[in-house]
Amino acid sequence: MEKHVLITGASRGIGAATARRFAQDGWQVSIHYHKSLSQAQALAQELAGMGSRAALVQGDVSDPDQARHLIAQAQQALGPIDALVCNAGIALPIQLLTDTTDSQWRQVMGTDLDGVFHVLRAAIPGMVSRKDGSIVTVSSMWGVTGGSCEVPYSAAKAGVVGLTRALAKELGPSHIRVNCVAPGAIETEMTAFLSSEDREALAQEAPLGRMGTPEEVADAIYFLAGEQARFITGQVLSVDGGMVI
């Protein structure tokens, strides 16, 4: 029987790479997107070419009603959710906390932390009823160490780490694993705004001397979601080239 993974924020970057990684091994993939319909459609066509069934689910994860609806969309399209990857996230421009507005703070918290809560709350009952499932959240190295001039993002991603560890204890008796990946500097749209000099400086901060790729994060997510990690739960796996040790 084909397994079903739902990936939030799957239309591009780490989410799209993760969708491809699951499809490579024959998983059915629910591709969640908020506004990037054309990118999501292109990805679905790509996965179909790989022989994977794909469904598009739309919604703003910061809205609890839309989060519930996107879970229902995924289940209606492809059946019970075997694995859930909470990847949807946004970041603000690099700035001081004192320059951050109330609306900016709520925007980041709403998507990066509240959004994870909303999606999980809607998806967990189905997993608990089957006593089976795997959840992978996506934090950041800044959620582990904190990043100067990225306080809202760091705070939200630190919340994801705490949520993951607590939920792993809560869902363990139901045979549901909950783990987290914490990417470092990755070549995505979130880092594309940096100058070549800043990108090189960031790369050199990592012992491996380079930035990572979305595919390398996707491999870590796939590992934690799958059977090879069947005795791993409540863990945070850093994918950062050794930047956080």
DSSP designation for 93: P
What pLDDT does 120 receive?
98
Q: What is the CATH number of the domain that holds 44?
A: 3.40.50.720
In a domain? residue 241? no
Q: Which of 60-69, 182-191, 208-217, 236-245 has the least mean pLDDT?
A: 182-191
What pLDDT does 245 receive?
82
Query: Above 90 in pLDDT, residue 1?
Result: no
CA 7 to chain CA mean position, Å: 7
Domain of residue 99, residue span: 4-235
Segment 19-49, tens digit of pLDDT: 999 999 999 999 999 999 999 999 999 999 9
In a domain? residue 244? no
In a domain? residue 243? no
What pLDDT does 199 receive?
82
**Separation CA 38–CA 126 (nearest Å):** 30
Structural domains of the chain, count: 1
pTM: 0.96
Q: Which amino acid does the sequence have at 107?
A: Q
Strand residue runs (E) in the chain: 4-7, 28-33, 54-58, 83-86, 133-138, 176-183, 236-239
Indicate which residues carry an active-site annotation. 153
In a domain? residue 242? no
